[in-house]
Homo-oligomer: A and B are copies of this chain.
């Protein structure tokens, strides 16, 4: 029962220096040796849509994956097909366009189809991919609204295919630690959460992201999903109501979609958290106050370096290729036929919140979620 409280951080003494490490494992131990793990087949992924996320993130990440590889592409732009085929050594038989996409059903090289299209096309191509017999990863936001998410989930269930949403941060060490700290109440009860995600949009004014019919919305759909996720996965609970307001400083640029949105989420038990999203502010943080201290992230949600702290002490976890970890995890799920930890239902939960935020922006009132 007794144990010393005294601090002792001696030099790293390996008992090898005491003669133990040098001893060979005797023959009696051969029975303990494990047979080498059966070499697993790497699953083939096809990227559908070769925009900036595919070219800047997913393509490069697939050079770091262990359980899957870039087997095919689907693009409507012939010059991209040529470039990708050359860069990633993709055989012609694994390159599709949107006219012959259905033929992917007959291609055994492709196990998983990753939908990286504008939001309004997510539903159609997720369902087509599942019906073609492929497991599906769909980028976030999952769809234009919660109703579409329901249809996608049903279609994948009916086709007996796994569906996962591109929530890379569920595989990122700093964000995973936030989930543990909050959900396991390591610092006691969470008393407040404030989080924001946004960037200053100065790109093409004709981009699909700025068209409501194509993107479903603006900063809220694209960046706000992360802030909604941050509150949800810190608490491990689903919000029940929301009240939102918005701000538009560049109405000529953001003609159809929201620019900056502020909201307050109410969780069961009464806790209210604040969140925000923007296409006109550089935000990427999560701050949590709990009974026994505080913790948070900043940058919290980007593809690059994630930094975090607990009571002022920095987190020093590895910076990983998030999308590689995310895709490898899904490949493992497919191999084991088990649901992803970020299934379609996770995307649906966020879209219910998004729908309620837009409703609250219209009504000016608190709105029930779900």
Contact = CB atoms under 8 A, between A and B. Distances in A.
Interface of A: 1-10, 12-16, 18-21, 23, 25-26, 28-29, 31-34, 52-53, 57, 116, 139-140, 166, 173, 176-177, 180, 184, 186-188, 194, 196-199, 209, 222-223, 226, 240-241, 243-245, 262-264, 266, 268-270, 272, 274-276, 282-285, 287, 292-293, 298-299, 301-305, 307, 310-318, 365-366, 368
Contact of A1 (B8, B15, B139, B173): B139
Contacts of A184: 176
B299 A266 contact: no
B285 A8 contact: yes
A160 to B, nearest CB: 28
Nearest to A297: B9
21 contacts: A1-B140, A2-B223, A5-B299, A8-B282, A8-B285, A14-B274, A15-B194, A15-B263, A20-B263, A23-B264, A29-B266, A29-B368, A32-B240, A32-B268, A32-B368, A186-B317, A187-B318, A188-B318, A293-B318, A310-B316, A311-B316
Contacts of A15: 194, 245, 262-264, 274-276
Nearest to A240: B32
A180 B180 CA distance: 9
Contacts of A31: 368
Contacts of A8: 196, 282-285, 298-299
A223 B318 CA distance: 33
Contacts of A263: 15, 20
Nearest to A141: B1
Contacts of A317: 186-187, 293, 310-311
A245 B5 contact: no
Contacts of A176: 184, 186
A225 to B, nearest CB: 9
A79 to B, nearest CB: 22
Given A241-B32, A318-B293, A199 B3 contact: yes
Given A5-B299, A366-B29, A283 B199 contact: no
B368 A287 contact: no
Nearest to A116: B1
B285 A5 contact: no
A34 B268 contact: yes
A316 B311 CA distance: 6
A304 B7 CA distance: 10
Contacts of A222: 1-2
Nearest to A275: B15
Q: Which 5 A-B pairs have the closest CB atoms?
A: A5-B302, A4-B199, A311-B316, A5-B304, A313-B316
